[in-house]
Every structure is written in structure tokens, then in C-alpha cells.
Amino acid sequence: MIPLHRSHVVFYAAVVTLTVMLAVGFGFWFIRQQMLTGNDFLLDAESKEILIRVANLAPPVDAGKLEAALREHTEYDQALFFFQVHEPDGKVIYQSPNLGAQPLLDLTGGLDKRTVALPPLGLLRVAEYHTPTVHVQIAMSLRNFQSINRSFVRVFLVGVPLIALVSIGFGLALRHSTLRPVRSMQAAAQRISASNFGERILVPPGRNEMADLARLLNAMIDRLEKSFNHAKRFTADVSHELMTPLAIIRLHAERLRHDPQLPAKYHHAVEEQWQETLHLADTLERLLMLAKADSSALSLKLQSLATSNFIGQFTEDAQLLAESRGLKVVLAKNEPGTATVDQGWMRQVLFNLLSNALRFSPPNGTITFSSQCAAGQWTVEVWDEGQGVPPAQLQDIFARFVQITPRAEPGSGAGLGLAICKSIVELHHGHIAAHNRTDRSGLVVALTMPLDGRPPAGQKS
């Protein structure tokens, strides 16, 4: 399907060009008909004088009488007309000198006027008039008509492409002015997100379709904002209200776990209860954190840090965690740079990414970290050697409660880790994305944030 901004121009140019072609074609046809009508009028006027002379001849009409009657008149008008007289059986008995040896076409039994090409005389308009004794033919040259026809063809061949180009230019200008409100709406709609629901589309002045569309979209965004705010408040309120009873349940479960009088048959059930309570408490804490991030209530303690020092220290801690699971962490690249971030939350992001990589890496696998500083951006990548993610799910793994592994599997979590990473990175005006490895199986998660723009000092590379 042709995009709107192109089809708009194509349709306009096609309509204008076709309209001009039809107008020019109709104009040429009209001029042609008028010229033929004018020629026919002259032929009829000329025929009256000839027919009077023929009518004055007593039958039988022979070539000598006819030539004597017509010579003076035909010689006087031969600059404009050609004359020929033939008997009803077709025998020519008179021709004007300007015809030479070329006879005119006999029109007996057909049209009384016809346009014919007669070499070497060219295009002629021939009229035939019948009397009781002879048939009189008078012809006129259509050289002027041919000249106009050639001029029309030249104008058509040059003018139509020129009109098409001009109409495309006007179409582009029309597209620019017509689609400007649409582009403005598109830009505003792209800026509206969960963290920026307060912005609205600018309503064009006046009462027209674009203004009505902008009002409709703003009304829809109002409803979405209300629903989103209700959902955020509900999530935050429910999470907050559940923390206290959940803490009491966990406390009782811990007491039962350490109660020496607890019957052995209940040990497993109490242990399961305690584990699920911890999982639920962790999920509620994460939901509270996401609710704060969505409402911009999550406080950031921003400070400038040396990226290479920060990544170097984190990978040392990551190596200890990986070794406990029989895995290895490698720091492939650690370029120096300076960025202003909240170190605590950034460690949380990297720890979440490390946890995912540890969970999906095969035994004896390697997790690779890479930190690059270029073009004013700090990019951190985490590579694992797991099975990767189905391409259709790559855009969804940062959504809430999206899990690659079934919930029943150990350590599967609640599907909030990458959602938290996304919220924290976006609070730092950054971006996070994922793609599958191309050299082997595995997933690459990359986060990008702005650098400070000043030379780093005192970093270890």
C-alpha cells in the first residue's frame, strides 16, 4: 500500500495531468471541428457559383462547353480550390489545372464531404454536388489544419510532462501544508508515554477534520491517563497494604520453621510457605519500586562516576557469584568515561541482568560484560550463552510479568526484573534493548546512557 504522504502527491498530480490532457484534447477536437465546419462553409459557398454556371449549360454537357463555362472562374480561385466534374458513371470531363493528372476521389453513393489524403497535394477536404447531368467536385487544401495538428502534438509532448512536473511540485507543497497537522500529532503522540501522560496533542485552529481528530485523540489520552493512574494507585496501594500482613505471615512461618516441637510431617509444608512468602514479599517490593518509578517518585542520588572503575568493581563481585554456580565472568571491554548516575540503582540494574544471565547460562558457560564510551553514550552489554529468546518475544521481555521460563521452574521469578531495569535506565534518560547473539546461541542485553561530556580522570582501564 502506498504511504499517505506519497499517494497524496501522486493522486493530485495524476488528477491535474489527466484534467489538462482532457482539456487540451477536447480543445483540439473542438478547433478541428470548427476548422472543418469553416472549410465546408467555403466549399458550399463556392459550389453555388459553379452550379449556376453548370445549370446554364444546355444538355448534353460536354467537356468543351464545361471548360468554356468554368475556365475563367476556376483559374481565378485555383489558389484556394481544386475543381473536377465527372459524369454520373464516373467519367471525368473537367479538371482544374492545379489538379494536374491526379483525379479527385469519386464520392458518388457515399458522403457528400470527406477528408482524404491525395499525394502529392496532401490532405484535402473534398465536397461533391450532384446535378441532373454531372457531378461537381470542389476540394480545399488542409495544410493549415496539418500545421495546427503538428503544433498540437509538439505542445502535447512537451506540455504534458511539464504539467506533470509542475503538478507534482504543487502536490508536494499541498502535502506539506495538509499533512503538517498530522506530523505534529504524530510527534506529540510519540512523546506521550507512561512517564509523560500529561502532554496533549495541539489542536489546530478552526473547526475542521484535523481539529476534530486532535480533540478525539486528546479525549482518548485523557481516558487512558485516568485508567493508567488508577492502575498505578491500585498497584501501589495494594502492595503497600499487603506488606504488613505479609511480614506477619513471614514472621510466623520463620517461628514455625525453628520450632522444635513442630511435627516432622509439617516441616516441608512450612518450608514451602516460608519460601513463597519471601517470593511474594520480593514481588511486592518490586511492584512498589515500579509504581514509584512510574510516578517519578523514585529518588535518584545522582553523582558523577568513572565508568571503568564502576564496571571493574561490579565484575569482580559478579565473578564471585558466577564461580559459586560453576560459571565464569569475562570483562571483554572497559573503556574510560564519566557519567552521572545513581550508583545504587545502576548496581541493581546490572545485578538483575547478571541474575538472568546466571539463570539461563549452561554449566561451565561464560558471561561477558562490555563497557564502551563513544559518541557521548555509555553502552554496557551483557552476553550470555543460553538458548536466547524467540524473536517474537524480544520486544516483550521488558514488560511486566513476562517470563521466558515457566513460573513453576526454580528461580523463575515474577517477571519484573527486566521491567525494573527498563524503568531505572529510562529515569537516567537512557535506553535498554535485547537481541540474540549471531555467533552462537545466547542473549545480548544492552543499556545505553548519556556521558557527561568531560574528560575522565583517575580511571583504571
Cross-strand bridge partners of residue 370 = 333, 381
SS3 call for 430: coil
Per-residue pLDDT in tens (0 to 9) along the chain, 461 residues: 445 556 667 777 788 888 888 888 888 888 888 888 888 899 999 899 888 888 888 888 888 888 888 888 888 888 889 999 988 888 888 888 888 878 888 888 777 888 888 888 888 899 999 988 889 999 998 888 778 778 888 887 888 888 888 888 877 777 677 667 777 777 777 777 665 667 777 777 777 777 888 888 888 888 877 877 776 676 666 666 776 787 788 788 888 888 888 888 888 888 888 888 887 777 777 666 666 666 565 677 889 999 999 999 999 999 998 998 899 999 999 999 999 999 988 998 999 899 889 988 999 999 999 999 999 999 999 999 999 898 888 888 888 777 765 444 444 556 677 888 888 898 888 999 999 999 999 999 999 999 986 544 444 44
- Cα 435 from Cα 398, distance rounded (Å): 12
In degrees and rounded to multiples of 5, residue 209 shows phi and psi of -65, -40
For 172, residues 6+ apart whose C-beta sits below 8 A from its C-beta are 9
Q: What is the pLDDT of residue 234?
A: 66
Domain formed by 209-294, architecture: Orthogonal Bundle (1.10)
Q: What is the pLDDT of residue 406?
A: 45
CB 456 within 8 A of CB 307: yes
DSSP state of 260: T
The domain made up of 303-450 is a member of CATH 3.30.565.10: yes
Q: What is the pLDDT of residue 449?
A: 93
- Cα 361 from Cα 413, distance rounded (Å): 16
- Cα 33 from Cα 145, distance rounded (Å): 10
Q: Which grid cell sits at 272?
A: 514451602
What is the bridge-based pairing of β-strands 366-374 and 328-334?
A: parallel
Angle, alpha carbons 203-205-210 (nearest 5°): 55
Q: Report the side by side order of strands in the sheet with 377-383.
A: 328-334, 366-374, 377-383, 443-450, 431-436
- Cα 283 from Cα 280, distance rounded (Å): 5
Q: What is the pLDDT of residue 455?
A: 46
Q: What is the pLDDT of residue 412?
A: 52
What are the residue boundaries of the structural domains of the chain, listed by start?
A: 4-148, 209-294, 303-450
CA distances in angstroms from 209 to 59, 215, 313, listed in the order given = 84, 10, 59
- Cα 144 from Cα 34, distance rounded (Å): 13
